[in-house]
Structure 1
Amino acid sequence: MTVSPHSVRDVMTHTAVAIGRDAGYKEIVELIEQWKVSALPVLAGEGVNATVADGIVTLSGDLQDRSLIPLLARAVRAVEGTVDIRVALSGPPTRTGG
């Protein structure tokens, strides 16, 4: 793994901006211009929000497939500069086998 002198704070804004998969071209262009970004992640219908403060990432909102939480948390922890992660996601209960 290559070590970078940069952290999340150096490359990420405090507000994450994303679009839904049904967003129109005009909305995409307006958001790119408004937030001065070069790309927008597309959310596939999930209402997950990520906020970052002092390296602490908080995930909140609705996640329909709660089995994805560990995968999501692992991906966030892998970002250099992440100090901690707090998960405050709601959604239907996860079914267990049995």
Structure 2
Amino acid sequence: MPKWIVTASMRDADPPTLRTIANFEGDEPQALSKFYGIINSYDRDVTKVTRRQIYKYSDRQYLVRVLGRLKQVEYIMQLGELVVDTKDLSLPSSYE
């Protein structure tokens, strides 16, 4: 079963941040469904969300703008599939 990761990086953060939001297993439709659920609900850095705007770059990368009563935060959220693992014999040990 494929393994997936969801990451979020805050735009304009100093220092730059990259957070792992979720790790899970599933086929691609399951992974995309879970990813869409995350981008529609993630609001870790904002209290009292008043608005959410989502911009699509690709099926696996979005800009999520979350507006709260006191501040606005933008995240680049990505869905990644594990393609190399030197400890997993079912996956290649290098990427070509």
TM-score, scaled relative to structure 2: 0.29
Higher share in strand: 2
- Which structure has greater helix proportion? 1
